[in-house]
Structure 1
């Protein structure tokens, strides 16, 4: 059985929640606990989930950690936005090119 020790809590792959299922390791994304990991019911969000909750990591005391994680999240969001813009731009250019080809074909009576 694999063991993991993060300083706050010792857990293993078979940690069980209150309803008898294997607990899932999740990451908190709230402002107060940004990036902090915890164990919770693997059915979280479903009606039959239990209320099992246990922190795995110690709280991040250094405010620098929070700013680094915030910066990484902002960069990831910025990258996703740029990718969507790029995809729209490519689609737009293909549509314009297709319309130009269609106009030329119609103009020369090939369509």
Structure 2
């Protein structure tokens, strides 16, 4: 029987070299975007067994290009949205300050 990811549910979890269950992760490097791998549950931290095994086959160059382009566009969009939010906040503060100055002038 297969789960949503296409992996058998009945198989036992893969153990890393230090006896822990290996964890499925996804690479987002430029060379392996979206490619899944198994690693020690403490993979990347100091003093681990550094167990590593690719789950997905090598990524086709066209796939790499498309995924990296989508990631670049998503990152660019996020940066633009943050810039727009800062711009709007700045102008709201500026407008509030102008209104306060006008109110103070009217009161005096």
Asked if the contact 2:44–2:50 (Cα under 8 Å) also holds between the matched residues in 1, the reply is: no
Q: Aligned partners of 2:62, 2:55: CA distance in 1, in Å?
A: 20
Return 5+ residue gaps in structure 2 as ranges.
none
TM-score normalised by structure 2 residue count: 0.80
What per-residue deviation string (whole Å, max 9, x for no partner) do you get for residues 13-45 of structure 1? 722211222211112233332321110011123
Q: Aligned partners of 1:92, 1:52: CA distance in 2, in Å?
A: 49
Q: Which of the numbers 100, 103, 111 marks the counterpart of 2:101?
A: 103
What does 1:26-45 correspond to in 2, within 5 Å? Answer: 26-45=25-44
Q: Aligned partners of 1:32, 1:45: CA distance in 2, in Å?
A: 18
Q: Aligned partners of 1:32, 1:74: CA distance in 2, in Å?
A: 14
RCO greater where, 1 or 2, for CA within 8 Å and sep 6 or more?
1
Return 5+ residue gaps in structure 1 as ranges.
6-11
2:61 aligns to what?
A: 63
1:76 aligns to what?
A: 74
Secondary structure class of the residue paired with 2:107 = coil
Stretch moving more, 81-90 or 13-22: 13-22
Asked if the contact 1:2–1:13 (Cα under 8 Å) also holds between the matched residues in 2, the reply is: no
Q: CA deviation at 1:92?
A: 1.0
RMSD: 2.3
Q: Aligned partners of 2:51, 2:68: CA distance in 1, in Å?
A: 27
